[in-house]
Homo-oligomer: A and B are copies of this chain.
Amino acid sequence: MSSTTRKPRLAEVAKLAGVSPGLVSRILNGDPTVRARPETRAAVLSAIEMLNYTPHPSARALRNARTGLLGFALHHVNDPIYAEMVHRAQSAAARRNFSIILLNTAELAERGEAFRNIVLGRRLDGLLIQSGFGAGEDVLHEIARTVPSVVFSANPTPDMRTMRLDDARAAATATQHLIDTGHTSIAYVGAPGVSSERRFEGYRSTLAAAGLPWLPAVNGGWTADEGHEATVRFLGSGAQVTAIVAVTATTALGVHSGIVASGRRIPDDVSLVSVHDTWYARHLNPPMTAVTLPLGDLGALAVAELIDQIDTPRAGETIVADPEPLLVVRGSTKPIQA
């Protein structure tokens, strides 16, 4: 049982190799000033190997004021869009010997104590923050100013590196597709938070530019269940739209089922476009037309960006990425006069 064997320390490696602890440390960290004889170096390396030595991260962290830990503050880990993002962020971090700690935005925003304990208390090296999904985000932004951070947000936030997602443009792309295929009566199902407001604005302005009427946002929330309820209510109240733009992939799924539950057909009676594409979109019946934003890539990019920032601090508002939204046409939309 190796479970009872204590882990070897640097000093033991040094003793075994017949050198000082300092030298082992220097070799381990690739100190360029080290000019140890090849056989000395080999002895150190083989001692490390022999003892299966691994440096103690807490000791290192204490010395270096670096934990190798990145926090990822999310509203919904179980949102497929962000799950993918987390997944990619984790891989990118691991490749650079960082680890990702999961943080819950709601918990953080609610309990100042949690924020203090976990974010400040853990001495995280950096923070990724999903923003724009609700109230209480001021707290998060405050945190973001005390530690290197990348914020995923529609609004470039002053004094913060933000990874911009062009919400408005994505919604505009979705809306334009519907206009291009002859729809003139188009609704938007949204959710609370700035992100949705921006998408609504993309929807509204695109319709306005085309000289078409727009409707106030139908409040659907960020989940499929909420999207479903909102859609059933909306269509049940006699709304005569021929097309809907949904704020995100989860909500869109609920809108999808809500349209069906209301006894209308997709796309014959109502066309549907989702902002955000995800793995399940193509498996729906009918498959969901969607606007792709490469959030997985952004997750990886944000980690790279964040680690760079930790190494060489830079301040200020920076738009790091701003990918072009891509339309993927599937079965949930069809031209109005077809």
Binding site for B on A (CB under 8 A): 1-3, 7, 52, 54-59, 61-62, 67, 69, 76-78, 80, 83-84, 86-87, 90-91, 94, 97, 99-104, 107, 114, 116-118, 120-123, 145-147, 223-225, 228, 250, 253-254, 256-257, 260, 279-280, 282-285, 287
Contact = CB atoms under 8 A, between A and B. Distances in A.
24 contacts: A52-B116, A54-B116, A57-B122, A57-B123, A58-B58, A58-B61, A69-B101, A76-B87, A77-B77, A77-B90, A78-B87, A86-B102, A91-B104, A94-B107, A94-B118, A99-B101, A99-B122, A224-B280, A225-B279, A254-B283, A256-B283, A280-B280, A284-B284, A285-B285
Contacts of A118: 94, 99
A97 B117 contact: yes
Given A3-B145, A83-B83, A102-B102, A55 B284 contact: no
B57 A121 contact: yes
A262 to B, nearest CB: 12
State the copy count for this chain: 2
A83 B91 contact: no
Contact of A77 (B59, B87, B101, B147): B87
Given A55-B121, A58-B62, A100-B101, A260 B280 contact: no
A7 B104 CA distance: 24
Given A2-B145, A62-B62, A90-B103, 4 more contacts: A55-B121, A223-B279, A257-B283, A284-B284
Contact of A123 (B56, B69, B116, B280): B56
